[in-house]
């Protein structure tokens, strides 16, 4: 079955396509003729996920889903949160965001943080949402070259290295996105009678 993933982020496409399993293949917005940046102007993660899914659904009529993710740092009152992609600049500059986060965490002893993903699905004309959360801590310096975004500074609970030091499969098994995608896949399997 083909399903459209409403994202401009190639890292997310790589992660999610490896988790969807047999029976599903992803279509990108570009393949469906949506080449512009998909707007995300809502004040919440849920709102942005729905906005992205609706935007692409309205233009293609295809079943589709979108992921919105935020890194919520306890000592920063939940920032960068919904602004995670645009924390340092309006552009999606992963390096600048990471540097600003470490700068804002200098001298801070409470390092607790969590990633939260909301996936919004538009399926046969109805809207559904699925959430995935992983708790963890922000390191003092970046380590690892895998993953993307804030992965080099995030150590998930129970692990001894950052997401960027894990293989893709290790990250997906415990990550915010992995958990949200697992819920999405359960739903789609039920809907399609796949065991």
> Contact between 51 and ligand ITT (CB under 6 A)?
no
- Considering only residues 132 through 161, tell me which ones interact with ligand ITT, judged by CB under 6 A: 147-151
Residue 68 annotated as catalytic: yes
CA 67 – CA 112 distance, rounded (Å): 23
Nearest distance in Å: CB 108, ligand ITT: 19
The position carrying tokens 């992609």 is 85
Nearest distance in Å: CB 15, ligand ITT: 7
> Contact between 69 and ligand ITT (CB under 6 A)?
yes
Nearest distance in Å: CB 194, ligand ITT: 26
Whichever of 123 and 148 has its CB closer to ligand ITT, that residue is 148
**What is the contact surface with ligand ITT in residues (CB under 6 A)?**
7-9, 12, 38, 40, 67-69, 71, 84-85, 92, 94, 97, 147-151, 163, 175, 177
- State the catalytic residues: 68
């Amino acid at each position: 079955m083909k399903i459209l993933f409403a994202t401009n982020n190639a890292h997310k496409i790589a992660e999610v396509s490896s988790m969807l399993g047999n029976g599903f293949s992803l279509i990108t917005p570009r393949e469906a003729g949506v080449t512009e940046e998909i707007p995300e102007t809502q004040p919440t993660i849920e709102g942005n996920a729905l906005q992205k899914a609706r935007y692409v659904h309205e233009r293609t009529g295809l079943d589709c889903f979108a992921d919105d993710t935020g890194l919520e740092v306890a000592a920063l009152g939940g920032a960068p949160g919904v602004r995670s992609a645009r924390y340092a600049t309006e552009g999606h500059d992963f390096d600048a965001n990471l540097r600003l986060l470490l700068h804002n965490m200098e001298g801070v002893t409470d390092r607790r943080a969590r990633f939260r993903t909301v996936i919004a699905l538009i399926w046969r004309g109805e809207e559904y949402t699925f959430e995935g959360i992983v708790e963890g801590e922000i390191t003092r310096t970046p380590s690892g070259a895998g993953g993307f975004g804030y992965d080099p500074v995030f150590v998930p609970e129970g692990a001894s290295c950052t997401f960027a030091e894990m293989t893709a499969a290790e990250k997906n098994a415990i990550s915010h996105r992995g958990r949200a995608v697992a819920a999405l896949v359960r739903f789609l399997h039920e809907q399609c009678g796949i065991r």
